[in-house]
Structure 1
Amino acid sequence: MTWLKSLLFFVLAGLCEIGGGYLIWLWLKEGKPIWYGIAGGLILALYGVVATLQTASFGRVYAAYGGVFIVLALLWAWKVDGFKPDKYDIIGAAVALIGACIIVYTPRGVIR
């Protein structure tokens, strides 16, 4: 159950980062009202808080988060921007996600 909770925190952090960044993008690049930027900044700050809910160390969490972020960014682009990932996008995202899982979820013992 711990890994499921961890996965939930990764997804929530990713949605906060991508969603917050997207709102700032809309404000600065597409002329949306300033409150888009303010809301985006608050959501980005929430991303930083959500990431601290992980139980692994800071470096390991942020390294692994990169893989999760890649998958979420492609899903966001597909569903929100109409971008259609090709097979190389999918293969690359799968490799990154496998790497993230290895970093965070591999049992560690004493190396001798």
Structure 2
Amino acid sequence: MQNALIFAAAAFFEIAGCFAVWGWWRLDKPALWLIPAAVCLGLFAWLLTFVDVEHAGRAYAIYGGIYIVASLAWLWAVEGTRPDRWDTIGSAICIIGAAVILYGPRQV
């Protein structure tokens, strides 16, 4: 459960940070938007260090599935565009893959 909370928080901060850069570059928002972008992206990277896995690459791979689902939630909640069935199917496949990586038996 702790890993799920860490991944969720990391996804929020990464997407918020990236969206702030997007807003500055693509939506003509002021350059001050880059300050919260940097803070959010730093928090995202820091949070992933708390995931209970042995290797960073595995944490990043698991996070990839979480990121996809969180991005589609952002699309709906912040940008006002509801994900379609292909978004839903694709994100379900990604979550299944992330779960296999996270919970798969490992030889120690």
What letter corresponds to residue 3 of structure 2 in structure 1? S
Identity of aligned residues (%): 39
**CA-to-aligned-CA distance 1:23-50 (integer Å, 9 cap, x gap):** 1111121121222111111110111100
- CA distance in 2 between counterparts of 1:27 and 1:88 reads 29
Matched, 1:81 2:71: no
Q: Deviations over 1:43-64 (max 9, x none)?
A: 1011110010112121111011
Q: 1:108 Cα shift? A: 2.2
The equivalent of 1:64 in structure 2 is 62
Write the mapping of 1:2-17 to structure 2, written as runs, cut at 5 A: 4-17=1-14
CA RMSD of aligned residues (A): 1.2
Question: Given the two structures, how large is their TM-score scaled by the length of structure 2?
Answer: 0.92
| Residue of structure 2 equivalent to 1:29 | 26
Out of 69-78 and 39-48, give the one that drifted further: 39-48
> 1-side partners of 2:82 and 2:63: how far apart?
23
Which residue of structure 2 aligns with residue 96 of structure 1?
Answer: 94
- Which region of structure 1 is more displaced relative to structure 2, 32-41 or 14-23? 32-41
Q: Which has the larger radius of gyration?
A: 1
The runs of 5 or more residues in structure 1 that have no matched partner are: none
Deviations 1:52-92 (A, max 9, x none): 01121211110111100000000100111111211111011
CA distance in 2, matches of 1:101, 1:17: 20
TM-score computed with the length of structure 1 as normaliser? 0.89
Gaps of 5+ in 2: none
- Counterpart Cα distance in 2 of 1:105 and 1:6: 12
